[in-house]
Amino acid sequence: MLDPDLLLKVDTSKLPRHIALVMDGNGRWAQHRHLPRNAGHRAGVTAVDAVVTTARELGVPCLTLYALSTENWSRPRREIGVLMQILRLYLRREVKRMVRENIRFNTIGRLEDLPEAVQTLVQQTVAETKDNDGMIFTLALSYGSRLEIVDAVKHIARAVRSGTLSLEDITPTTLGRFLYTAGLPDPDLLIRTGGEVRLSNFLLWQASYTELYFTEVLWPDFRGNDLLRAIIEFQQRERRFGLTHEQLLRR
């Protein structure tokens, strides 16, 4: 349940357009309880539900969760299997809710790396929610920001070679159109749970002017009130984008 005192501190006219979230701490949450790591992954689904619900109710336009990195494939096969099982169960359970609550499901990353059955389910969920015009809920699956940038550069190189793009026309905006996140605004706020203070190859290009928020709360314990605290701190920061405070006052 959301704390009414925290809700009063949130200025709904100044919400982040896009919140990105690194869901960290599942393994440590389980370890602290003398449980297997996979118990932490399963418990993390409750946190996903809480964050999606809170973001949608507040009116946040875009929410992106870092669900599986390209580096995560090197984890034990059994753990990867459990993660894929959790993803399948989640999508099967939540697609009706997304349709009902006007949430558009989206993914970024190398989806071809996922098992075929998971790819099919992801594509079906995207298709079933494509006409929704509410919050865009994105899962980053088999995602790595460095590979994303490499893929974008390759697409640009092909376009230059084919003559559909000239070298002079290549700008930061041009590169952005070739990223997995094309069509999404850059994140205004990036939250990482679990106490670690790094980006872990997540949205490196897009986060150049993103406000970063790190919390000690382990992901399975993260709830709507924790999201409210992050948004409240975000709204207290002055975002200058290279300008001075005085220049901002004159705008």
Among all residues, which ones are annotated catalytic?
A: 24, 72
Indicate if the alpha-carbon torsion angle 213, 219, 221, 227 is positive or negative: positive
| C-alpha torsion angle, residues 196, 197, 202, 206 (rounded to 10) | 150
β-pair partners for 211: 189
Cα separation, 174 vs 164, whole angstroms: 13
Q: How many C-alpha atoms does 100 have within 13 Å on its Cβ side?
A: 6
| Maximum distance among all Cα pairs of the chain, rounded to whole angstroms | 59
β-pair partners for 19: 63, 189
Cα separation, 249 vs 247, whole angstroms: 5
3-state secondary structure of 17: coil
Residues 178, 155 contacting (CB under 8 angstroms)? yes
Buried (b) or exposed (e) across 192-224, using 16+ Cβ within 10 A? bbbeeeebebbbebbbeebbebbbebbbbbbbb
3-state secondary structure of 212: strand
Tokens standing for residue 89: 């169960």
